[in-house]
Chains A and B, each alone.
Chain A
Amino acid sequence: MLNIYCPHCGEHRSEEEFHYAGEAHIPRPENPAELSDEAWGDYLFFRRNPRGLHHEQWYHATGCRRFFNVARDTVTYEIHESYPMGARPSVSRDSEEAA
């Protein structure tokens, strides 16, 4: 069971307090009406689903009810960092490759 650091509560808490909320950093298109069906479908459904480093959203459902981002490895389940919405991750694919 994952142990997740909530950047708002400032504590590690067990996964049971959280809801997984999908891949992070997928902004809603500014003007959906101008998008083709393909571009809209891409936004709606298509995901990176990587084997390895994944930036994802979690919701502290039974805690502070805040959303935040987590950089996690989908194979080892290791969590590199938690960071608030709007922030940029310090661990990225590039930084991992560099390391």
Chain B
Amino acid sequence: MTQRNRLPERGRVDRSRTLRFQFNGRTYTGHPGDTVASALLANGVRLVGRSFKYGRPRGVIAAGPEEPNAILQVGTDPATTTPNLRATQTELYDGLVCSSTNGWPSTERDLTSVVGKVGGRMMPPGFYYKTFMWPSSLWMTYEKGIRKAAGLGQSPSQPDPAEYDHMNHHVDVLVVGAGPAGLSAARTAARAGARVMIADEQPELGGHLLASRATISGTPAAKWVRRQTDALAREPEVTVLRRTTAVGYHDHNFVVLSERRTDHLGPDAGGVRERLHRVRAGQVVIATGAHERPLVFGNNDRPGVMTASAVGTYINRYGVVPGERLVLMTTNDHAYHTALDWHNAGREVVAVVDTRAEAGGDLPTEARACGIRVLTGHGVIEAAGGRSVTGARVAPLSADGESLAGTTHELPCDVIATSGGWSPVVHLTCHTGDKPVWSEEVLGFVPGETRQARVCAGGVNGTYALEAVIHEGVDAGKRAATAWGFEATEMRDLAVSVAEPSQDPSMKLFLVPHHKPVTRAPKQFVDFQTDVTAAAIEVAVREGYESIEHVKRYTVMGFGTDQGKLGNVNGVALTARARGKTIPETGTTVFRPAYTPVTFGALAGMERGGLLDPARFTPMHLWHVRQGAAFEDVGQWKRPWYYPRHGESMQQAVNRECLAVRQRVGMLDASTLGKIDIQGSDAREFLNRVYTNAWMKLQPGRCRYGLMLKEDGMVFDDGVTACVDDEHFIMTTTTGNAGPVLEWLERWHQTEWPELDVCFTSITDQWATVTVTGPESRNVVAKLCDDIDFSREAFPFMAWREGTVAGALARVFRISFTGELTYEINVPADYGMHLWEAVYAAGEPYGITPYGTETMHVLRAEKGFIIVGQDTDGSVTPEDLGMHWALKREKPFSFLGQRSLDRSDSRRRDREQFVGIRPLNGEAVLPEGAQAVENPSNPVPKRTIGHVTSSYYSAALGHSIALGLIERGHDRQRERLHFMTSDGRLEEAELCSTVFYDPDGARQNV
């Protein structure tokens, strides 16, 4: 197929190269520099999709990010097909394959449109809310059908192989938009010495000047743009980002830019597909321009109805005239440019339909001089045609534009271009909660007041005359640079002049009236993508949905992927009209990020797989891997869970590991425990305040278990703290709480007790820990160390010693989480692997067995030791745990949480308390989380009286055991309860002491 609408010259496309692409299964050609939209129009393709609600045929309306209709699925690979790309922003490459997103069985022969025609009248706004209610049970069935009709494109069905990343920037001045205002601002700020970043969504800088025939101080616009671009390239501190959209403007001048780096190169480009630039800017210059506002009239969605500026852009920038015969409807002088462009391209301008009573400006005069028919005081009330425009029905308007003043006649044409004025692109200026204000002068919303350090320039302010735009840009660059501490210099080359045609005032018109009332007229679309009509807005208001937010939500206006860039202001105006209010009284809906959609992958950046959250490994990790350990995530750490030998089940492995510890010796990598070094003359006093127990008498060389509460009295953490000397302690915390505990200590020290001389340092990563436990542990450690006396008398339980173990400086703690004789050996982390291997070798004659967290859990449960976070849940006091012994209430300072233990609820007698639980069936392991009931035959709702927190099979005991929190548990020893499990089992168990194994503690006192 030939490009029948392509002009032989004009525009910025490279006609020397031809690109082939497919749309809806047919092959077309275009050129480098084309978008998919311009190439389709060049080939005379009108129909690009079907509307979602009524199935109406739709064509390209615009030429930029405001396009609502030309939404395509690009690519066919299940992993890289991309839904919902705007044809007007999708650069053409050779071999591109795309299709429409709606229409069944095809966009050409769409059957949903039949439904739309017949059923459309049955679908006023809110029709879902008014029907499908009865019976309720059938809604899920109705919904299935409704869902089938939902959505635009298809999600990929395979994982996306592309790369995305983030880049952080600190700049003095960020300029958003590289049209005439942005370029001028960037150059001015850069010349002042500021570090400048300028970003534009298009592949080339220049903004609308890329499609302009203007001359600037005698220089053609395109050449002027090139000069500015070259000048910026020479500035050392300027970063230019093309294909980069500022998608969100967040508090404190944090602006998120989304750069599309490879899509224009085709699917196999490789490299980083999209990059999110996270920019903290001293000052932001917003130079985002304006979007032309279409006029609302009957059947204004027919393919061939476009905005005037889009038609101009296709002609001037792409060398494409999107039809043969043009009718242009306008409320202003500016749109006459398009009629002149069309005329100069050698095609017929049927008429300019000017809604104003008179049009005497330079451009209308020039148009008339070219022989173009100008119909003033008229409007296009309705487009004729089905899948394409065939004519414009024109009628005279009353002076206020509210009604018709005569009869209709039809002008044959295939394109209707309209201009209702311009809407400044204020989106970014509103993201931080600032409200735009309506300007009667601009006939649009302009940026309102803000607390952000920003300056607006050009079209976004409603300034449209090119000379003024450039001067505003220069001024904005100056203001931004000086506000950030730079001295601005004069920019003589930007003191330009542009000859502007004289212009008559524009007319304030949004909806072109029809002979029929809005409810009966042919559909007058306000928001194309969501199929919202003027009638829908009237109905919504009639039903009491009056607030602009209600209108939006009830009709779904503005909810499309264009977020109503074309339609919102018309919608506001029609809502105001229906309510009999002004536009400022009606207000606007809230602009939210993203300005244009941004890829999830780009938001996530490198945070994927292993980088989703940092993984922490101990120095011995590789050994565990080599041994085939299964791992458990504990906080960010990877901890060995158990070490299965070939063919072993998890239970078998854990049984073996448990028995090894109880009978011989085992070793555990305990490096992940939090370790905090505490020093200062008040360190002791500090420990007294943050722990529930007493610390004044702990001697150097000794250690003590400590319990830490939040101020609400609930257990927060526990661990052993060792005294190095009077002013030096080493605290251990649970693995997951290492960070929170350090912050907790710092908080109290810094915010409440700064007078205490104490400081804290995390040493978790500096030390590796090997726990050697079991009857043979003394023999094992003694083999590795000859400067510590390991005898029972010289090195008693709850003592620690410094020495040399396996040649490394070591701190050895004699504490026990298993109930067996235990030495925890700490060495500098670099020696961790060395120590581990040395212990393993020394232990081999004793049958030393490495064990993981699961065995650790079983062993400590046999002894009734708690695990904070498993046996506690933020609602458990020390007394609930039966740990009264750890509370020293008589300490002079009321320790953290102490007061809360005396609240009425903490003193309640029927609190859930920590108990041992022994299933009657010794083979049955209760699920952790199983709930206890007194009488299982009670009807639902049954009252739970507690639950299982820990539960295991104990190989040492030969039966299952559990721990749990049970109402009045301490008084219920030997009582039997029923435990219900989520898989429907019911187990009976007896409450007992929490210490199942070696109740006298004899095994660790050897």
Contacts and interface: CB of A to CB of B under 8 A. Distances in A.
A and B: direct contact (Cβ < 8 Å)?
yes
Given A31-B894, A37-B904, A59-B747, A2 B752 contact: no
Interface string B898-912: 111011100000000
Given A3-B252, A3-B253, A33 B280 contact: no
Nearest to B433: A76
Nearest to A65: B746
A48 interface: no
Interface residues of B, number: 25
Contacts, number: 58
Contacts of A31: 894
A83 interface: no
Contacts of B250: 1
A98 interface: no
B818 to A, nearest CB: 35
A15 B433 CA distance: 19
Interface string B874-915: 000000000000000000001000111011100000000000
Contact of A77 (B252, B711, B904): B252
Nearest to A86: B754
B899 A1 contact: no
A1 B894 CA distance: 39
A82 interface: no
B464 interface: no
Contact of A57 (B251, B712, B751, B894): B751
B904 A59 contact: no
B752 A27 contact: yes
B433 A44 contact: no
A40 B894 CA distance: 13
A85 B899 CA distance: 25
Contact of B711 (A33, A44, A79, A86): A44
A76 B434 CA distance: 9
Of B250, B711, B898, B904, most buried by chain A (CB within 10 Å of CB) is B711
B453 to A, nearest CB: 11
B109 interface: no
B743 interface: yes
A66 B900 contact: no
Contact of B746 (A33, A59, A75, A79): A59
A3 B280 contact: yes
A21 B743 CA distance: 10
B626 interface: no
A33 B899 contact: yes
A32 B898 contact: yes
Interface residues of A, number: 29
A78 B899 contact: no
Nearest to A78: B451
Interface string B432-447: 1100000000000000
B489 interface: no
A1 B251 CA distance: 6
Interface in B40-57: none
B997 interface: no
Contacts of A75: 433
B790 interface: no
Contacts of B344: none
A47 interface: no
B358 to A, nearest CB: 47
B743 A19 contact: yes
Contact of A85 (B712, B750, B900, B903): B750
A90 interface: no
Contacts of A14: 254, 280
Interface in A10-62: 14, 19, 21, 27-28, 31-33, 35, 37, 40-41, 44, 57, 59, 61
A33 B894 contact: yes
B306 to A, nearest CB: 40
A77 B747 contact: no
Contacts of A19: 743
Given A2-B252, A40-B899, A67 B451 contact: no
Contacts of B900: 40, 44
Given A2-B251, A14-B280, A19-B743, A67 B750 contact: yes
B754 A85 contact: yes
A55 to B, nearest CB: 13
B27 to A, nearest CB: 47
B754 A37 contact: no
Nearest to B254: A1
Nearest to B897: A32
Contacts of A65: 746
B586 to A, nearest CB: 23
Contacts of B752: 27-28
B903 A40 contact: yes
A86 B754 CA distance: 9
B898 A21 contact: no
Contacts of A76: 433, 451
B612 to A, nearest CB: 16
A75 B251 CA distance: 11
Contacts of A28: 752
A84 to B, nearest CB: 9
A66 B750 contact: yes
Interface string B737-758: 0000001001100111010000
Contacts of B899: 32-33, 35, 40
A39 B281 CA distance: 46
A61 B740 CA distance: 10
A31 B751 CA distance: 17
B252 A1 contact: yes
Contacts of A79: 252
B894 A67 contact: no
A34 B746 CA distance: 26
A1 B250 CA distance: 6
Interface string A60-99: 0100011100000001111100000110000000000000
A59 B252 contact: no
Contacts of B253: 3
A23 B903 CA distance: 24
B435 to A, nearest CB: 12
Contacts of A21: 747
A2 B452 CA distance: 12
B21 to A, nearest CB: 40
Contacts of A57: 751
A40 B746 CA distance: 23
B743 A59 contact: yes
A3 B168 CA distance: 14
A47 to B, nearest CB: 14
A3 B250 CA distance: 11
A21 B754 CA distance: 17
Interface string B695-721: 000000000000000011000000000
Given A14-B280, A33-B894, A67 B747 contact: yes
A13 to B, nearest CB: 10
B738 to A, nearest CB: 13
A31 B904 CA distance: 18
A32 B746 contact: no
Contacts of B712: 44
Contacts of A32: 894, 898-899
Contacts of B754: 85-86
Counting from the closest, the 3 A-B pairs by CB-CB distance are A32-B899, A3-B252, A67-B750
11 contacts: A2-B252, A19-B743, A27-B752, A31-B894, A33-B899, A37-B903, A41-B903, A59-B743, A66-B746, A77-B252, A79-B252
Given A40-B900, A67-B751, 20 more contacts: A1-B251, A3-B252, A3-B254, A14-B254, A14-B280, A21-B747, A32-B899, A33-B894, A33-B902, A35-B899, A37-B904, A40-B903, A59-B743, A65-B746, A66-B746, A67-B746, A67-B750, A77-B251, A77-B432, A78-B451
Interface of B: 250-254, 280, 432-433, 451, 711-712, 743, 746-747, 750-752, 754, 894, 898-900, 902-904
Interface of A: 1-3, 14, 19, 21, 27-28, 31-33, 35, 37, 40-41, 44, 57, 59, 61, 65-67, 75-79, 85-86
